[in-house]
Structure 1
């Protein structure tokens, strides 16, 4: 094909991608979202931009915290849920219980309602309290996914009689995925003596910002979603149930060299994202260590980034594989690369591309793309979590839900050993610590990292989704 014709094809592909992306946005905002193989839970709303008004006053921060007296997720809130909030605020727990039960019959997969229901059932009785810090104002989908895991763990332990007879309360905190607000949230939580542990935060940047506060005040925080290697060993109170980028990078490097039998790769990343830079750096290090080579890098953050030109340049520089280290803010650019690549080069990607949008927008162009992900709902046939979560939430759940469930489970086991801030830290750090989670045994390395390998998945045609493609687990190679 001549260079002129190739350029025309690439430009047309880019225009098609933009059109599909627009259709995807319409699809999400029209309320037609469905569950896709444990990727995107139902009844979700489009993400909003993070708040820019920071730092915030103490009163504003308090408005971001709720155990049931404030509604933090007003989208699609039923009238009975709104009534329950007022009932809890006035101390009428019986009315709140009745209203929240009615609300959950209408909307079964509302984790905020289930958390407040369990809190209302406890009322003013003695309890242990943990907090869940989530990005409600910036990424409502991710916030709901994380809260589902926390809510399920709370619901199960309380239904079984609590932690040695003491029930578990959960306080929800909205940090808008903003590092400065996350730090203020962390200060508010550490100053509240009732909070014995924290699940969060969402992105690596917000977790890193908040971790300084938690470490200074000796409050355990477990992130279910932050993968940056910068978190490794950041403090004795900082843990995570998601494997670090080092695990994902090593797995992708081995797959490229051993399975694909390719040596040279072009890496696409976002220099404005701590996660993206971490994955790129770890992948580059692993690849060179294994004998491969990065022949070119392309930064999504550059104002003149052009997917078609970048792919053409990558091929001209000898790239045999494309590695996509995008983050959520640059997933659309990554999918443009998928489209204009048109399967000319094999594709690798991190967990950010593990979404229904990749299947919907990527389509046939994404077929055979391999991703390193923390968890896949079909990867462990022996686990009963996929079934129990499906019964509770009326659909399959995402990896964020599974690993948030694991984070809550780890805190619950820690509370069972010693229900104090120091006691939980000592329990999680002990060499004999182990808890059974959604994704297998939960154990932590001295660095606070999860001692668990990642799962590789590949995009294949299938009928588990409405897009004609699905993610399929890859067995050992």
Structure 2
């Protein structure tokens, strides 16, 4: 065979291979309910920056994996084609099958709006990496959207919600932030989930003059980013102060061993603030143990803490290190009292920690039993068919803050001015929503403890500590 013929044959083979692979990918994508069009930000086909596709949906795709169904796929296709009325029935059917699906409820409300005028906000969640946390946040936003739209909207204008996935990474959080800043329809953003993601994205929102309200990012560094950055969750300083006071005044201990993740801004922030607060009132951190260390051993660490005179343990894991924190709980066997940050407030803590976790004290922004007279817990139970946690409540509060801002002045700059005003006041899950000049929430934290109980399937539950 001549070199020319060999070249022609190779080219033809390459083209055939590309066609087969491309066709196979298209078939696979349709089977999985995926969308290969690129960025979904109102500009189909836009290409994202290196690091992966930016996933933003108003209902034309499903972002939480493992939840698709024929009804959901039909709804997504109808919305993508602009046939909003055709999406309503399959979305209602999907919700009848799974009433606690917040993504479906958000897209249903969007479909009911259709092409009529609406105010749009976005919520950024780690839907592909932290599925439970993403659902918890989306339930708060969905409940607020459902309430305001059923009540006739914001001065007669309904609220549309876009959902974005930042994969809980700083790089993707920045890409999502850039896309949302460019989208002129988006008037505000609820998010991001983690402090590292939020700290990476915040300067982009600040420069783009787009208000972002985080329901879960607690790092104290966020307070200094700028006047377009807010949060409905109290900063680590409030949580650390409450835990330190409890150690000194209630547990009557002064020497504490701290476990943290040096690679996490949230974990480092909570550890530093706790150390400062404890020292200011006469206590001290006698030992520090890094979850991220390649030589970390929970059993050795607990024994070392005891040997160094620790009278209590403070756990400050970020979400990826909760399992290691629970190993500490297990090997401690209730020998030392344990304090912890809000990241360890999970069902897994009750299930895995079990009897070893009884008596542990956590600092959280909200608890469903903390203010039982408020309407939010009852409405949440009716809507979702069960209790919700603090992440849902704080996401609800962030959306409520945007609703109040939109009522005052429905523009990006107008929302910022409304939220920054001294007299700003919005109704939250348990109490009024007010912000300090730094953008931090002006609110106290709630200390909870773990006790045996029947409110969960695990035989243990979180209950508020009474003053």
Normalised to the residue count of structure 2, the TM-score between the two structures is 0.89
Q: Which residue of 2 aligns with 1:257?
A: 248
Contact 1:403–1:439 under 8 Å retained in 2: no
Supply the distance in 2 between the matched residues of 1:251 and 1:164 (Cα, whole angstroms).
Answer: 40
Unaligned runs of 5+ in 1: 1-55
Report the CA distance shift for 1:146/1:254 in structure 2 as closer, same or farther (over 3 A): same
CA distance in structure 2 between the partners assigned to 1:398 and 1:82 by the alignment: 29
Paired with 1:190 and 1:211, the residues of 2 have a C-alpha distance of: 11
Q: Is the aligned partner of 1:337 residue 2:331?
A: no
1:58 deviates by: 5.2
Q: Which residue is 2:422 aligned to? A: 431
Q: Post-superposition shift, 1:357? A: 1.0
Aligned residues: 421
Q: Please give the per-residue CA displacement for 1:340-385, whole angstroms capped at 9, x wherever unaligned.
A: 1111111100011111111111111111111111111111021111
Question: Which residue does the alignment assign to 1:36?
Answer: none
Name the SS for the 2:314 alignment partner. strand
- Equivalent in the alignment of 2:277: 286
Shift in Å, 1:73: 2.2
Equivalent in the alignment of 1:244? 235
Structure 1 position 124 matched with structure 2 position 130: no
8 Å Cα contact 1:61-1:184 kept in structure 2: no
Distance in 1 between the 2:432 and 2:281 partners?
Answer: 29
Q: Paired residue for 2:397?
A: 406
Aligned pairs for 1:243-392 (under 5 A) are 243-392=234-383
SS of equivalent residue, structure 1 residue 239: strand
Aligned counterparts of 1:60 and 1:351: Cα–Cα separation in 2? 30
SS at match of 2:224: coil
Query: SS at 1:163's partner residue?
Result: coil
Alignment of 1:40-55 (within 5 A): none
Residue 464 of structure 2 is aligned to residue 473 of structure 1: yes
The two structures have a TM-score, normalised by structure 1, of 0.87
- Write the distance in 2 (CA, Å) between the matches of 1:422 and 1:135: 27
- Given candidates 186, 192, 206, the residue that maps to 2:177 is 186
Name 2:150's counterpart in structure 1. Answer: 159
Corresponding residue for 1:97? 88
Q: Secondary structure at the match of 1:232?
A: helix
Residue 167 of structure 2 corresponds to which residue in structure 1?
Answer: 176
Deviations 1:65-98 (A, max 9, x none): 1101122224122211110011111121111011
Q: Is the contact made by 1:114 and 1:151 (CA closer than 8 Å) also made in structure 2?
A: yes
8 A Cα contact 1:324 1:348, kept in partner? yes
SS of the residue 1:166 aligns to:
coil
Larger Rg: 2
CA RMSD of aligned residues (A): 1.2
Where do 4+ consecutive residues of structure 1 move more than 3 Å? 58-63
Q: Relative to 1, partners in 2 of residues 1:118 and 1:304: Cα closer, same or farther, differing over 3 Å? A: same
Contact 2:54 2:172 in 1 (8 A): no
Change (3 A) 1:60 1:281: closer
Give how far 1:61 is off: 6.8
Per-residue CA deviations over 1:224-246 (Å, capped at 9, x if unaligned) read 00000010131100000001000
- 232-241 or 66-75, which deviates more: 66-75
Q: Tell me: CA distance 1:57–1:151, structure 2 relative to 1, closer, same or farther (3 Å).
A: same
Q: Is the contact made by 2:259 and 2:291 (CA closer than 8 Å) also made in structure 1?
A: yes
Deviation at 1:273, TM superposition (A): 0.7
Relative contact order (C-alpha < 8 Å, sep 6+): which is higher?
A: 1
d(CA) in 2 for partners of 1:133 and 1:286? 32
Deviation of the 1:327 alpha carbon: 1.1
Identify unmatched segments of 5+ residues in structure 2.
Answer: 1-46
Spell out, residue by residue over 1:372-428, the C-alpha distance to the aligned partner (whole angstroms, 9 max, x if none): 111111110211111101111111112111100000000010000000000000000
